[in-house]
Each structure stands twice: as C-alpha cells, then as structure tokens.
Amino acid sequence: MPKTLAVMLGCLLLMGGHAVAGWQTSFTDQGPTFTDPTDYYYPTVVKQAGTYHMWFQNHAGSDDLWYTSSADGKTGWATPVQCLLGGSAFTKWQLHPSVVDTGSKLRVYWSGSTRGIDVAEADYANPTAFTAVGSDVVTRGASGPFHYDSAPSHGISQWYDAYVYQYGGQYEAWFTSDWGIHYGVSADGVTGWTAVNAGANGIPVFKKDAAPAWDSYTMGKATVLRLGPNDYHMWYGSGKSGDPKAYAAGIGYATSTDGVNWTRDAGNPMFHYTDGATYRDKRTYTPWVMLDSGEARMYFSAEANATGVDSIGLTTAPMGGGPTALIPEPGVLGLLLLPFLRRRRRA
C-alpha cells in the first residue's frame, strides 16, 4: 500500500467505524496462550503477512531473545528458537524486547547490558536473525534530553524498555526509567531522540501513584496506542510494596489527549495477581496490546505462585466496527484497515 494512501486511511479513523464503547477496559482473560517450564515472559507480537510473530524473553538463566509464531495468535505456537544478533546468540541481559514493523524490516528495541536502549533489525523472511543498527541510542545523563525531575543535572542513568511506533511521519516512543515513563520522538527511530515535554527537561509524563495505591511502587513496561491526534491510550504494569513482586502485581489503563497529561482509569487495576487465576497469581504485568480484525488482544507476562512458571497470558476484547488493525502492523497508524471501507454503516 502506498505510504500516502496509508496515512490518509489512518486519518479516517476518526470519521468511520463504530467501536464497542469501553473496549479498552473490557478484556476477558483467556488464560495462558504460551507456556513452557523454561519460563517465557515480556512478549512482543507483530502480525505480518497473515502470521502472528512473537518474540519474548527467555528467563531460563540467560534472559535472551527467542521467537515463535502462530497462525491465529492464540494456539499452535511453533517450537521456539533462539534469535541471533550478527550471527551469534543474543547474550545475557537482552531485556524487555519490543518489536515494530517499519514497513521494510522488523526492528527490535531492548535494554542492553549497559541499560541503554539498543536496536537491531531482521528481514521478514528470517525473523530470528537480527543485525545491529544502533547501541545506547537514547542519550542518558545530564546532557541528555530526559531527566527525572526539572533539575537539568538530574539525568536518566538507565532505561528498562522502549515501546515504539510510527505516527505522522516520525517515530514515537515511551521509555521506562526508575522514575516513570517518558515520551520521545525521532525522525528515524534510531537517532536524535528528543523529549516531547522538552520544556520540563523531559521528565516522566506518567509516574507511580502515591502509596498505598496499587501502582505506587514503580511503572512497568507499557503499550501506548495513539488512535488519533489527541487520543492516547496506555496499558501499563505496576504494583506496590508488600506484593509478591512489587513491580509486577497488575495491569492498569490510562488516557491522554496530548501524551503528556494522563488520567488513570477509575476501575484500575484491570487485572491483578489477586484475581484468582492461578497461572498469574504471583505476577501479572508487561501488557502488549494490539488491534486485529475487530478484536483487541493483550498479551502479557504471568507467573504462577505455586510452580514459579512464567507464561504468556492472553486477554481479548471485542471492538465491533472499530479499527481492525493498528500497532504493530507495518507503518503502524499508516495501515489501518477500517470496516467502512468494506461496508458503510450509519451513525
């Protein structure tokens, strides 16, 4: 699809389609979709050419990057294989992967051994063989564009993850630090990352809540879907002191009109380790949300208290006539497929 037409379709999102009201918080737990005793977590999923591709972190001693695929994204996941970086296995502490389809490559962002954001790309034909394209690409320290408070000397020392997508001809990202979630933009998604709230020295746009709130310990890996110019939706992981894992107790939801000022949903947490689902009664976090064929899917990390087994959980929400594809399809917002292109529906 030509890029200009794709962008036009993205703009039409606000003009057509009838999504189910409240789908953003109406997910139903489908249980674990992918489980193995070697402990899989931090999923990132891309649908490309009709196949669901999942990359995840293997917690079995090496914490490196692995890959599997499925025809429907729910069942029948292929035997996982270890991903390669420059022909060699990803080394220890390739943490918290996030993959985006750039329209020509599959690009993975992760927190590397120095706790900077590293970047590599793979061809569609071989989604397990990556070539490095950038290391420590988001400047840290006092000279960087991001800080943990308004003092220009208080720079970020380490990044835990990055959620990246394309919008409006540039890349946007949500970087997690010890202090919260930061919002940045880059022309090519690799170099020149700058803070959206630069006037505030790039401080976090979303921070932990005050104790004893359920999300008062820290902010976890987030998904942000930008459904329009002034329409941001965030799903994030968090917890509080006293939880089995204070950073991984549950999943919350928030909205924003500018990506800087956020409002938590009154029904938070959407999911919590105390819900009674034994496969995730120790950890429930790292949501990865994607929209597909009238359905919203949330893949996330889960851990069972009794066995200690990590698995990839799945929750789904029907969307009716809303957008049928969004992040992380090729070009992201550029490749929305709207139902009214197939059938017009009256408002």
Q: What is the CATH number of the domain that holds 334?
A: 2.115.10.20
Task: List pLDDT tens digits, range 198-225.
Answer: 999 999 999 999 999 999 999 989 999 9
Does 315 fall in a domain?
A: yes
Tell me, rounded to whole angstroms, the distance of Cα 293 from its chain centroid: 19
Does 347 fall in a domain?
A: no
DSSP string of 267-314? T--SEEGGGS-GGGSSEEEEEEEEEETTEEEEEEEEE-TTT--EEEEE
What pairing do the DSSP bridges indicate for beta strands 180-186 and 106-111?
Answer: unpaired
- What local confidence, expressed as pLDDT, does residue 324 receive? 45
And the tokens for 258?
A: 């500018």
Please state, for a pLDDT cut of 90, what percent of the chain lies above it: 75
3-class DSSP state for residue 334?
helix
Lowest mean pLDDT among 33-37, 158-162, 181-185, 313-317: 33-37
93 pLDDT higher than 80: no
The length of the chain in residues reads 347
Does 346 fall in a domain?
A: no
How does residue 5 score in pLDDT terms, banded at 50, 70 and 90? very low
Peptide bond into 339 cis (omega under 30): no
Task: List pLDDT tens digits, range 261-279.
Answer: 999 999 999 999 999 999 9
Please report how many Cα atoms fall inside a 13 Å half-sphere around the Cα of residue 266, on the Cβ side: 1
How far apart are alpha carbons 103 and 4 in whole angstroms?
Answer: 13
How far apart are alpha carbons 207 and 43 in whole angstroms?
Answer: 23
Number of domains present in the structure of the chain? 1
Q: What range defines the domain where residue 133 resides? A: 3-341
Greatest alpha-carbon pair distance for the chain in Å reads 55
How far apart are alpha carbons 230 and 176 in whole angstroms?
Answer: 22
Burial class (CB in 10 A: 0-12, 13-18, 19+), 346: exposed
Task: List pLDDT tens digits, range 31-89.
Answer: 999 987 668 899 999 999 999 999 999 877 677 899 999 999 999 999 999 999 998 88
Question: What's the distance, Cα to Cα, between the start and end of the chain in Å?
Answer: 28
- The more confidently predicted of residues 293 and 269 is 269
Does 226 fall in a domain?
A: yes
- What local confidence, expressed as pLDDT, does residue 345 receive? 30
Does 318 fall in a domain?
A: yes
Tell me, rounded to whole angstroms, the distance of Cα 124 from its chain centroid: 20
Lowest mean pLDDT among 213-217, 252-256, 319-323: 319-323
Task: List pLDDT tens digits, range 124-138.
Answer: 999 999 999 999 999
Residue appearing with tokens 């709230």: 197
Alpha helices in the chain (DSSP H): 3-11
Region 320-325: mean pLDDT is 53
How does residue 90 score in pLDDT terms, banded at 50, 70 and 90? confident
Peptide bond into 97 cis (omega under 30): no
And the tokens for 316?
A: 């789904």
Yes or no: say if 335 and 329 are a contact pair by the CB < 8 Å rule.
yes
DSSP string of 107-145? EEEEE-TTSSEEEEEE-TT-TTEEEEEESS-S--BTTSS
107 pLDDT higher than 80: yes
What pairing do the DSSP bridges indicate for beta strands 51-58 and 64-70?
Answer: antiparallel
Tell me, rounded to whole angstroms, the distance of Cα 250 from its chain centroid: 15
Yes or no: say if 283 and 244 are a contact pair by the CB < 8 Å rule.
yes
Q: Name the residue type at position 208.
A: K
Does 302 fall in a domain?
A: yes
Q: What is the CA radius of gyration of the chain?
A: 19
**How many angstroms separate the Cα of 148 from the Cα of each of 144, 171, 206, 236, 247?**
11, 22, 11, 19, 19
DSSP string of 65-77? EEEEEESSSSS-P
